[in-house]
Amino acid sequence: MSLFEKITTPNGKVIEQPLGLFINNEWVKTDSTIDTIDPSTGKKITAVYAASEKDIDAAVAAAVEAFENESWTSLTGSERGDYIFKIAEIIKRDAELLASIESYDNGKPYEAEALAGDLVEAYEVFKYYAGFADKIHGQFIGAEILGKNKMCFTDPTPLGAVASIIPWNFPFMMMAWKIAPALATGNTVVLKTSEITPLSALHLGKIVLEAGLPKGVVNIVSGYGKDAGHHLASHPDISKVAFTGSTATGQKIMEAAARSNLKNVTLECGGKSPYIVFADSDLDKALEWGFSGIFYNKGEVCTSTSRFFIEEPIYDEFVEKFVKFTKENSKVSHPFEKGCTIGPLVSSLQYEKVKKYVEIGKKEGAKLLSGKFHEGDGYFCDPFIFADCTDDMTICKEEIFGPVVSITKFKDAAEVIRRANNTTYGLAAALFTNNITRAHKVANKLQAGMVFINSNGDSDIHVPFGGVKMSGIGRELGTYALELYTTHKAIHVNLALDD
């Protein structure tokens, strides 16, 4: 098998697809491969080389060498920013090609989500952190605080060689979220792609070469989480792991980090987010935001508001209208088809998982109002809407990561706050009401890293993203991410040597 393969995507784009590992600015073959599958057909697209522990060691060694020889850290912030901005510009130029391979590999709608969403955000993230690369500085603490003849200054220094482990639902965008702030702060990186959707992130290697980054600054490996991912998280020469994925895997990464060198971790994990609609809401807007909040990206989103809480006076009306709205606004089709809103689930494994939860929901007494699985090729299904649910039902407690929503009713704010918080997760929450006082009071009491008032699923590169409880540790995006890739060294100066 060669290191590259010409792939023609369903929309006719001919792409030179990298297949190898990218280590020290070179493409590398390994002893094993991973097939990547088109979720629209269930057929193989290609195979990529899979990293062994030996390959992970080589990638880490390259990142460590690049950090220690100061080919990256000795650059000024402005010089690093220039490189990062070059990456942004190449992404912008090649957005259609990158979005095409993203949709082909993942199954998300090409036009509405991959191109207009993920690739735009990836460009914006690299551009944003390129601008921050020369604005990272410490503090001066003088004698007026420390006392006569004393001064101190803080020096924000990069952590070293860091690991980024990205998920299968937003591979290219999540790559940008992690790589851009790491580079801006002077770190070097080993990126592990998802074994399910590795193709788009591998293109970063080509972009790095074109942008001219020094050897070893960015290294990319494909591989299975239990092998390559675990070894990377456990590696004693890695100073930090930034991970997005399931809570169960996040726990294993945190354990591996602790058992190795107590490395810094950022974890963005699962969610079971509530969507609360009060009776005084603008119902049409609540329907619209509720639909996008659970069915965007096929429901394969950590922030999906999969638990609907509807106030009793409008419960029946909301449920009836939501079913109608969903049927009218769902176009389940091939992701490259014009107007597609819901593509296939990412894999046969995810397809079977959603099937299992739908059967559990019916068995436990939830009322299925809409949704079916499509027979034939690919992993397609319609959105599933369950009503008359209770909080103890499995579909109301466990993250499904698919287009499945459970709807329950509530009586008042105190009740819905208690029930919304009755979960091990705490990533996001959304609420609809025209009473601004109530909106702020409820938002304040919801246990979530992000709360959306009269909207849903908002994300912006300037705003911190992350959760509480078992939804994760730390924040990505905004200036908050810069803090997580630096350590603040305090340098004390004694000016009283002659006293």
Work out the burial of residue 382: count CB atoms within 10 Å of its CB; fewer than 13 is exposed, 13-18 middle, 19 or more buried: middle
333 and 186 fall within a common domain: no
Of 390, 22, 377, nearest to 192 (Cα)? 22
Q: Specify whether 207 is located in the same domain as 302.
A: no
How many Å apart are CA 362 and CA 350, to the nearest integer?
19
Has residue 193 been placed in a domain?
Answer: yes
| Residue 466 included in any domain | no
- In this structure, the answer to whether residues 418 and 485 fall within a common structural domain is no
Distance, CA of 350 to chain centre: 17
Distance of alpha carbon 10 from alpha carbon 20, whole angstroms: 23
Mean pLDDT over 96-111 rounds to 98
pLDDT > 90 fraction of the chain, expressed in percent and rounded: 96
pLDDT in tens, 429-453: 999 999 999 999 999 999 999 999 9
Q: pLDDT tens digits, residue range 205-223?
A: 999 999 999 999 999 999 9
Averaged pLDDT, 234-254? 97
Task: Based on the fold, state whether residues 406 and 298 are members of the same structural domain.
Answer: yes
Residue type, 468: V
Q: What is the pLDDT of residues 374-385, one digit of tens each?
A: 988 999 999 999
**Band of residue 238 on the pLDDT scale cut at 50, 70, 90:** very high
What are residue 12's phi and psi, to 5 degrees?
Answer: 90, 10
The chain-wide mean pLDDT, for the chain, equals: 96
Looking at the structure, tell me whether residues 285 and 255 fall in a common domain.
Answer: no
Same domain for 212 and 295, yes or no, is: no
Contact between 407 and 308 (Cβ < 8 Å) = yes
What is the DSSP secondary structure assignment for residue 298, as one 8-state letter? G
Query: 73 CB contacts (<8 Å, ≥6 apart)?
Result: 67, 158, 186
**pLDDT tens, position by position, 34-45:** 999 999 999 999
Q: Does residue 94 carry a pLDDT above 90?
A: yes
Answer yes or no: is pLDDT of 148 > 70: yes
The torsion of the CA quartet 479, 297, 352, 378, rounded to 10 degrees, works out to -130
Q: Decide if 464 is inside a domain.
A: no
Average pLDDT in the 43-63 region? 98
pLDDT digits (tens, 9 = 90+) for 362-372: 999 999 999 99
**Total number of domains in the chain:** 2
Q: What pLDDT score does 497 carry?
A: 75
Please indicate, yes or no, whether residues 242 and 335 belong to a single structural domain of this protein. no
The confidence score (pLDDT) of residue 465 equals 97
Look at residue 432 and tell me if it is in a domain.
Answer: yes
d(CA 341, CA 327) in angstroms, rounded, equals 11
CA 162 vs CA 59, 232, 415: distances in Å:
11, 10, 44
Note the pLDDT tens digit of each residue in 268-308: 999 999 999 999 999 999 999 999 999 999 999 999 999 99
Residue 411: give its domain's CATH number: 3.40.309.10
Quick one: tokens of 205?
């290697």
pLDDT in the model for residue 6: 98
Whether 494 is covered by a domain: the verdict is no
Same structural domain for residues 445 and 485?
no
Q: Cα–Cα distance between 273 and 296 in angstroms, integer?
A: 14
pLDDT score for 499: 57
Res. 456: pLDDT tops 90: yes
Same domain (yes/no): 342, 411: yes
Q: Is 190 left (phi over 0), alpha (psi -120 to 50) or beta?
A: beta
CATH number, domain with residue 35: 3.40.605.10
498, part of any domain: no
Pull the structure tokens for residue 448.
Answer: 């979530």
Cα–Cα distance for residue pair 205/487, rounded to 1 Å: 27
Together in a domain, 233 and 311: no
What pLDDT is attached to residue 143? 83
Overall pTM > 0.85: yes
| Shared-domain flag, residues 243 and 347 | no
Q: How far is CA 268 from CA 2, 137, 352, 471, in A?
A: 35, 27, 24, 6
* Same domain, residue pair 403 and 357: yes
Kindly state the average pLDDT of the residues 463-478: 96
Is there a domain that residue 499 lies in?
Answer: no
- Domain enclosing residue 353, as ranges: 274-458
According to the model, what pLDDT value does residue 477 have? 96
Residue 496 has a pLDDT of: 84
Does the pLDDT value for residue 149 go beyond 90? Answer: no
Tens of pLDDT, residue by residue over 120-141, are: 999 999 999 999 999 999 999 9
Q: Is 495 within the bounds of a domain?
A: no
Indicate the pLDDT class of residue 151, thresholds 50, 70 and 90: very high
Hey, which residues are catalytic here?
Answer: 268
